[in-house]
Amino acid sequence: MKTKDFIKMLQEADPEGEGYVRLPWGGAPWFAEAKEGYWDGPYQYLEDVDPKKPNLHKKRLVTSTLGYKVDIHSLEYDSIIWDEKGDMDKIRNRIRVDYNWVSDEKENAFWKDIEDEAKYARERDENFLKEWYQRVLEEWYHEDWEIRQPLDKPIGYYHCMKAHKLFHVPKTLNQGQCDILIRSGNFYPEKKEKYYVWHHDPEKGKNWKIKK
């Protein structure tokens, strides 16, 4: 279905345009993104089996990579839970239940499921921090390597940290490595004339944390 046909279908279903869009697989529409048809996998649309006899219940499903498409991104509970790394205070601030017919028992069960998933997310994040902390130490904090970040990039900006060593080509740290320096509490940035230098010092690092 092309975007113009999708808009027309919504307008026919809800002429006033005040109804909320419900996705049968859950979540809420978040944003739309146009891209080439082959990018991030093919798209699908419906066509009539017999164009001369349109029938809502007799459609052919076509999978294609031709032309361009518009991806509809949705935001779900899991995305919020993992984005906030299991922090229930932040999660509760981003999820609101607005039922007018569900019992307290069911609402409590809903939050219990959220808390269970959040606990698992926290455990995974703690394991991630421990594992990548060791990786960063082993890879970059030896033999005179120095992690630098340009002053024009704010602290917390990923993909801007590079490992420098005399007579070597600078190497860019990946997102996991940047995340460890920013969040683990074992590193801290020292401001130099042209860049920050990220030092490994758990004692000083525990007193420095980016506010996110």
User: DSSP string spanning 58-105?
Assistant: SEEEEEE-SSEEEEEEEE-HHHHHHHTTT-HHHHHHH-----SS--HH
Give 32-80 pLDDT, tens digit per residue: 999 999 999 999 999 999 999 999 999 999 999 999 999 999 999 999 9
pTM to 2 decimals? 0.78
Per-residue pLDDT band for 102 (boundaries 50, 70, 90) equals: confident
Distance of CA 138 to the CA centre of its chain: 28
Parallel, antiparallel, or unpaired for β 43-48 and 162-164? unpaired
Domain ranges of the chain: 1-75, 77-139, 141-205
* Average pLDDT of the residues in 123-136: 93
Instruction: Name the one residue in this structure whose structure tokens are 């070597």.
Output: 168
Nearest to 151 by CA among 195, 197, 200: 195
CA gap 212, 198 in Å, rounded:
18
What is the model's pLDDT at position 159? 83
Q: How many CA atoms lie within 13 A of 114 on its CB side?
A: 23
What is the model's pLDDT at position 57? 92
Mean pLDDT of the chain: 93
* Average pLDDT of the residues in 138-154: 92
* Average pLDDT of the residues in 83-97: 95
Per-residue pLDDT at 211 exceeds 60: no
The torsion angle over the Cα atoms of residues 208, 90, 85 and 126, rounded to 10 degrees, is: 50
What is the model's pLDDT at position 206? 85
3-class DSSP state of 43: strand
What is the model's pLDDT at position 155? 82
CA gap 73, 33 in Å, rounded:
8
